[in-house]
Amino acid sequence: MSWTVTTNLVSWVAALNPQVQGAAVSATAALLGVGGTAFVAVAGFRNTRKLAETNLEAQRLTAISERRFAVYEDAVKYLLRLARLRPENYNFWPEKSGYPPEPGITPEEHADLEARIVAWASPAIRALWQEMERADGAADVVRSTAQFLRGEREFLPRDPVDPETVEQYEWKVNESTHVAGRKRTEVIEAIRTELLNGSLHQ
């Protein structure tokens, strides 16, 4: 509102009958009161909604963190157990060392943990987990071939296999189990980093 308009409005109000002036002032005050109340109400509603949204988001992130923490704890237990069952050095495996084997991990256990990793782990941990699974799979393929060449499988080689070939495959098995073992360690260290750095929300 310009200065001229404001001056004219004041002059007009001053020229009114005193009773009319009182009514006009009262009406203006009422309008200002209603406007102020509405402004406060709208501002309060917005602040309340924002606070509620913030609380809901905090609760959501807390729930994710709790689930992720539980999955990570189970994953580390699983990986440490797998490290005992599948040492990095193939010569320490029961089939080579002669030590009595521990009870293995059932397919159901593996599938359950893998599903929870996919559902709750961070993208970085999921990627490392997949790399570890591929490394374990590659080690299994070479190991199965070595067992076949040694005549430890249901189907035997058609021709006798010379010891040097068997030794070469066992060396490949040892190399692949080392890779798989390092991948397990990488997953454990990445999980520890997320837990200790408080980056569970990522």
Question: How high is the pLDDT of residue 30?
Answer: 60
The token pair that represents 26 in the structure block? 């009262």
- What is the spatial distance between Cα 13 and Cα 25, in angstroms, rounded to a whole number? 9
Angle between helix 163-197 and helix 18-85 axes, rounded to 10 deg: 150
14 vs 102, more confident:
102
Give pLDDT, residue 99: 85
Tokens of 156: 């035997």
The residues, any chain, with a CB within 8 Å of residue 155's CB and separated by 6 or more, are 148
Read off the pLDDT of residues 7-48 as tens digits, 9 standing for 90 and up. 554 565 455 555 555 555 565 656 556 666 655 556 666 667
CA-CA distance, 13 to 24, in Å (whole number)? Answer: 8
Among residues 170, 30, 145, 149, the alpha carbon closest in space to that of 91 is found at 170
The residue type of 108 is E
- For residue 202, pLDDT over 90 is answered with no
Q: Given a cut of 90, is residue 141 above it in pLDDT?
A: yes
Q: pLDDT, tens digit, for every residue of 59-71?
A: 666 777 888 999 9
What count of other Cβ atoms lies within 10 Å of the Cβ of residue 170? 19
What is the structure's pLDDT at 86? 93
pTM comes to 0.68
Provide mean pLDDT across the span 164-178: 93
DSSP H helices, the chain, are 3-15, 18-85, 94-97, 107-120, 123-149, 163-197
- Least confident piece of the model among 8-12, 128-132, 189-193: 8-12
What pLDDT is recorded for position 103?
A: 87
Quickly state the pLDDT bin for 109 (edges 50, 70, 90).
very high
Structure tokens, 47: 């602040």
pLDDT at 158 over 90: no
Q: How would residue 154 be classed by pLDDT, with cut points 50, 70 and 90?
A: confident
Nearest Cα neighbor of 127 from 80, 74, 194, 77 is 194
